[in-house]
Structure 1
């Protein structure tokens, strides 16, 4: 935990120098309970913005396994317990580890699009976020990251209200519905993005 806080402090300092960083809606992330934090993904900086924006919970990010092969980056990711994942076919052990982390009180940070999208569009949400939310009996908090990513530009992180998924926790949900549930969740991210992008994104 100390190393995690240390890394987050360094990242916060660097972000404050390079960008005009603003977080709106910090009070919307509950201090306890099973929570999955989802966000749009348009740059490799998005996981950093996510870590820096959240102060009251420890975030456990998920990243594609290929990144762990990069020297230094891979080491740091392991130290803050980023979970490596095969985006095409997550292994059972990976899924179990993610569920264990959520149930232990940590917040899963995930990007439903699965990969970086173009600045002008959003990719369809992949079903994984719905699966994790249902299996771990988690609610979901949408985060919208709004910026051009240019040095000294504004970065506005909007944390939306919790999406209560109790209905799916108490009823059996066919896997065929995961895609639509995931997209419904992603739509909260998109809605807040569009609502708050004025003056930041042309």
Structure 2
């Protein structure tokens, strides 16, 4: 079973690389006005080819312009692109923009890079997020942990998303993603058929929220993760 799971992982990596390199990037270059739809459709193809299904609980709040999500791997992004036909403005660390295929997709998709080693990185992130929301009318999607978690416990949230939300008086919607690491585990390089569950939690209007709204969101997300992960292995 482990050998088959390893084979499935490399199949999944091949599918993602092929669809991104031969499908998404050329089509986005040729039809820039339809970036969101192209990514939506082709990410659905990726999930189908690797044997993954999506279960959605709740709905995306149309008022929300900043989405906070837990992060366990690339399938998180693929799932969110597949589930909503919107042109998300993803925030990703600068190093990812230099990765073959994926980096080119981030560039062509007009995503936001953040330099975590540079003190001016937060200022740039703020300006880029503001441009996405106010000028391009795109919702910003960010993983507040700043990196992938290896288990079910959320890592401490970075201050950047809170700073942006409060300065711009945004409506923030937390999203919990369950099962993505089971479908494709980048830590131990295994993959399985499975369902990725996307749970939309109630949105928070930061201008009317209590001072500890950011901490409350993290606590609520952790409660949902704990409840949904009961009975599953740590990899789920």
Please give the TM-score of this superposition, normalised by the length of structure 2.
0.72
Secondary structure of the residue that 1:45 maps to in structure 2? helix
The aligned residue for residue 39 of structure 2 is 7
Q: Distance in 2 between matches of 1:50 and 1:191?
A: 21
Pick aligned residue for 1:95 from 123, 126, 131: 126
Contact 2:133 2:139 survives alignment (8 Å): yes
The aligned residue for residue 53 of structure 1 is 83
Please give the TM-score of this superposition, normalised by the length of structure 1.
0.82
Secondary structure of the residue that 1:23 maps to in structure 2? strand
Count of aligned pairs between the two proteins: 189
Gaps of 5+ in 2: 1-32, 184-190
Q: How do residues 160-179 of structure 1 correspond to structure 2 at under 5 angstroms?
A: 160-167=201-208
> Stretches of 4+ moved more than 4 A in 1?
198-202
State yes or no: 1:116 paired with 2:148. yes
The aligned residue for residue 125 of structure 1 is 157
Contact 1:128 1:182 survives alignment (8 Å): no
Q: Distance in 2 between matches of 1:87 and 1:118?
A: 20
Gaps of 5+ in 1: 172-176
> Whose helix proportion is higher, 1 or 2?
2
State yes or no: 1:183 paired with 2:212. no
CA RMSD of aligned residues (A): 2.2
State yes or no: 1:30 paired with 2:61. yes
State which structure, 1 or 2, has the greater radius of gyration over its C-alpha atoms.
2
